Chain A
């Protein structure tokens, strides 16, 4: 597909989204319910990952370095 402008492209993407989810056939108010539920779910996922993922990553790193990285670290400490 060739598009005249970026907005055209976005409109096309939205159209594909409508078709694939099937909400193309719904009435406008149902569409907005679906969209708001979907987007709030996505927003929540993003927000949660923003809040919690760094903490979990840090904890995981600490945990694994505790298991695998214990030895070299102590040698490092020794050298210092």
Chain B
């Protein structure tokens, strides 16, 4: 393919590459996008903004620097990580061998004696991994808590006498663990305050649920109020809420697309989006994470070639992206996605599970963050589980879309309606963010979260850890790499009273194990400082300060060098 507004720029030069992409002069719509940015520019409330010198990818589309870093894995670390997995795998085989010959008792599910000759159920790699690697460090996950998971949390202490096959509660409680693991971005996970009070009040009035669907007798006035509020919050015509975020994705995508449609999905999309896309029966093509060249290539191919074999045009093309990717901490390049979607007449499904409330000067998610028009996103999806401290999900968009979904979506037809106290929690917290409760608490929290995020990320980077993702994303993945360090990091942090989430293989590529910190507006500066000093201490103990870019105000991302290479148009 030859020159086009969005093709790659001249080779080599990084600065050139940084400027690649859509040129505003060629396209009226981009100008309008641009103007929309300028309008928003004054609202940006990040004091540390000046610190970021990096060039964004084509400034015409981004009002503020878009800095995202994915430092490449140091070679030695990668080799040692593979070696570690190799050693653990050998021991895994040894243990499996012992279990097979009944030298050792097998504690985990396995085929019954009389099923021995059936198709094996527990032989694939994931089972092997669970049995022989995950079980050894299982104490880092599923820790039971016994308080509200706010900025601090109480854990129930447990002990294992058989290397994590079973646990036993000691009866003691580990108090005041700083919670860096909950998606409590705005700190609305509270058991006191206006949200909790009004939820309690509504419980007295409405009870906890009506055990019926919205289409039957489960539709309460509070549900409708909430939907109106969500639509107003997002600046769209209409919205609809569901009792579960996961089901919102997995049940509504099938209602929107079907056979003969094409879904272009980011490779790191959440399982619920993947499930929804698969259930829909549409053709799914996956583009590289946040890589607009890859997306554009797929779009063009889809339009040029149409459906396989028949070559009829696709009925619909749906681009499915997330706002903040919860494992990478990256923010979707929404302005570019919208420009592409408009150019190629595709539809856009944006999952704002992590970004709603957490991003943007007014907490309205990625659309607000980039200062775009919410009407440019065809389907806005999000969850109430994270920032609002409630549960459930919503779909928002044009009135026709929502009306269609109300009658066609499985989760609207079959799922019971949301519980009124949960609805009330959403309403109160959302009003708080909007400032409709007459206070500035919500606005302050949004600002506090942005400040905490920038501070935490900056300090971690200065300490020399490898941090992934966007400067402004409250999800902060810190690379651990080696399998033993996953376990050691979680344990050492808990010993020092910090609760963190460590993530390993099935959720990440095998060598990119990481710890994921979720910053909250409820964290005070002292808590963050305490956490940071502990992280630094444990980082020294475990030798986690892998980064070789000691000071990196503007770092070229590997994105620019490697990821585009095999796109050959």
Q: Do A and B bind each other?
A: yes
A1 B540 Cβ-Cβ under 8 A: yes
A30 B485 Cβ-Cβ under 8 A: no
The residue of chain A having its C-beta at the shortest distance from the C-beta of B537 within the complex is A1
CB distance from B128 to the nearest CB of A (A): 15
The residue of chain B having its C-beta at the shortest distance from the C-beta of A12 within the complex is B541
Known A1-B540, A16-B543; contact A22-B484, beta-carbon cutoff 8 A: yes
Whole-angstrom CA separation of A16 from B544 in the bound complex: 11
B84 at interface, CB cutoff 8 A: yes
Known A25-B136, A25-B487, A34-B87; contact A20-B80, beta-carbon cutoff 8 A: yes
Interface residues of B in 27-69 (CB under 8 A from A): none
Digit string of A2-37 for contact with B (CB within 8 Å is 1, else 0)? 000000000010011011111111110010001000
**A contact face: mostly helix, strand, loop, or mixed:** helix
Number of interface residues of B (CB under 8 A): 22
Whole-angstrom CA separation of A12 from B487 in the bound complex: 17
A19 B485 Cβ-Cβ under 8 A: yes
Whole-angstrom CA separation of A12 from B541 in the bound complex: 8
Contact of B87 among A1, A12, A23 (CB under 8 A): A23
B484 A25 Cβ-Cβ under 8 A: yes
CB distance from B543 to the nearest CB of A (A): 6
The residue of chain A having its C-beta at the shortest distance from the C-beta of B164 within the complex is A25
B483 at interface, CB cutoff 8 A: yes
The residue of chain B having its C-beta at the shortest distance from the C-beta of A1 within the complex is B540
Q: Give the residues in chain A near B541, CB-CB below 8 Å.
A: 1, 12, 15
B540 A19 Cβ-Cβ under 8 A: no
A21 B487 Cβ-Cβ under 8 A: no
Q: Give the residues in chain B near A30, CB-CB below 8 Å.
A: 91, 94
Whole-angstrom CA separation of A34 from B90 in the bound complex: 10
Contact of A24 among B83, B85, B488 (CB under 8 A): B488
Digit string of B468-485 for contact with A (CB within 8 Å is 1, else 0)? 000000000000001111
Most A-side CB within 10 Å, residue of B85, B482, B484: B484
Digit string of B536-551 for contact with A (CB within 8 Å is 1, else 0)? 0000111100000000
B487 A24 Cβ-Cβ under 8 A: yes
The residue of chain B having its C-beta at the shortest distance from the C-beta of A2 within the complex is B540
CB distance from B298 to the nearest CB of A (A): 39
B163 at interface, CB cutoff 8 A: yes
A19 B87 Cβ-Cβ under 8 A: no
Interface residues of A in 33-48 (CB under 8 A from B): 34
Q: Give the residues in chain B near A12, CB-CB below 8 Å.
A: 541
The residue of chain B having its C-beta at the shortest distance from the C-beta of A30 within the complex is B91
A23 B543 Cβ-Cβ under 8 A: no
CB distance from B94 to the nearest CB of A (A): 8
Known A1-B540, A16-B543; contact A25-B137, beta-carbon cutoff 8 A: yes
Contact of A25 among B83, B88, B542, B543 (CB under 8 A): B88
B488 A21 Cβ-Cβ under 8 A: no
B84 A21 Cβ-Cβ under 8 A: yes
Whole-angstrom CA separation of A20 from B488 in the bound complex: 11
B543 A22 Cβ-Cβ under 8 A: no
The residue of chain A having its C-beta at the shortest distance from the C-beta of B486 within the complex is A25
The residue of chain A having its C-beta at the shortest distance from the C-beta of B162 within the complex is A27
